[in-house]
Structure 1
Amino acid sequence: MKKLARNEAWELLTEYTKTPMLRKHALAVEAVMAHFARLNGEDEEIWGVAGLLHDLDYEKYPEEHCRKAEEIMQMHGVDEVYIRTMNCHAYGICTETKPESTMEKVLFTIDELTGLINALCLMRPSKSVLDLEVKSVKKKFKDKSFASGVNRDTIRSGCEMLGMELDDVIRETIDGMKEKAAEIGLKGNL
């Protein structure tokens, strides 16, 4: 496997993604992926870069999401491991690439969850992930009208694939986001 350096991945992302909100989402997913890599004794940079690039094409080509990212990544000589992982994150939505490796399953599971946690943090008095508890996320997870664009079935399905309880995935996702709270705009007023 040919590793992609984090700075190269960031340059590629910022070439195609200009919106601060989408960049922060990519950074949040990167942080959580690196956190899960550490938990699994895997390479944090590989997992982080896979997370960073998962929505590479979303801003410019939302109708061709994943297909366009695959083209862009191939054009830049990005290793197939990253391409496959990127395709897995949208399994059953816009790709048929089923997550098989732990890295692919984690990305599939936490992508939507980081969005839900981000939305929840922004409406809290602290505007922060640093004081967020699992029970608060669980409450909003059950409320279908809150962050209604977040696909709860994808998160549940991902938890099953990983053989993890939802509470544990939420806790580890929060912990991963805490590590980069300032960079992802969720340090709030703490």
Structure 2
Amino acid sequence: MIPNLEKAREILKEYNKGDFHLLHGEVVSGIMGYFARQYDPINEEYWAVVGLLHDVDFELYPEEHCSKCYELLRAHNVDERMIRSIVSHGYGRLDLVAIKPELQMEKI
């Protein structure tokens, strides 16, 4: 399942209660939407959802950031390609992430 922005917000709010994390997700979502309009306008909402959910696990599991995304997002039947893109943002910065960004969206 590839969530739309409304469903992605529900997922984000299930695991994040703090204003900072909710706002951060919205800000990154907007930034990703901006870049999608330039590079991949057909998939703008997809990029925005990836941005919105990129830190879905951080508030509850800061020590396992990115690795817990799998579990949380699979519980919502989120598409594996989307999970891969979300998790890849930790590559090279977090020891738990071995997924290298490959798509242009993942590199942004």
Shorter-chain TM-score range? over 0.9
In structure 2, what is the equivalent of residue 10 of structure 1? 9
Aligned counterparts of 1:39 and 1:80: Cα–Cα separation in 2:
25
The partner residue of 1:104 within 97, 103, 106 is 106
Match of 1:66 in 2: 66
Q: Is 2:91 the counterpart of 1:86?
A: no
Q: Please identify runs of 4+ aligned residues in structure 1 that moved more than 2 A.
A: none
Cα distance in 2 for residues equivalent to 1:68 and 1:62: 9
Q: Distance in 1 between matches of 2:69 and 2:84?
A: 11
Deviation of 1:59 (Å)? 0.3
Could you report, residue by residue, the CA deviation over 1:41-87 in whole angstroms, capped at 9, with x for unpaired residues?
33110000000000000000111111111111111100112211111
2:107 and 2:4 mapped to 1: Cα distance?
22
Q: Is the 8 A contact 2:2 2:82 kept in 1?
A: no
Query: Which 5+ residue runs of structure 2 have no aligned equivalent?
Result: none
* Larger helix share, 1 or 2: 2
* Alpha-carbon distance between aligned partners in 2 of 1:83 and 1:5, rounded to the nearest angstrom: 14
5 Å-filtered alignment, 1:6-155, equals 6-42=5-41, 43-94=43-94, 95-106=97-108
Unaligned runs of 5+ in 1: 107-190
CA shift, 1:3, in A, is: 2.6
Percent identity over paired residues: 44
What amino acid does structure 1 have at the position aligned with 2:5? R
Q: Deviations over 1:66-110 (max 9, x none)?
A: 11111111111001122111111100122121110011011xxxx
2: CA distance between counterparts of 1:77 and 1:21?
Answer: 26
CA RMSD of aligned residues (A): 1.0
Instruction: Look at both structures and tell me which one has the larger radius of gyration over its CA atoms.
Output: 1
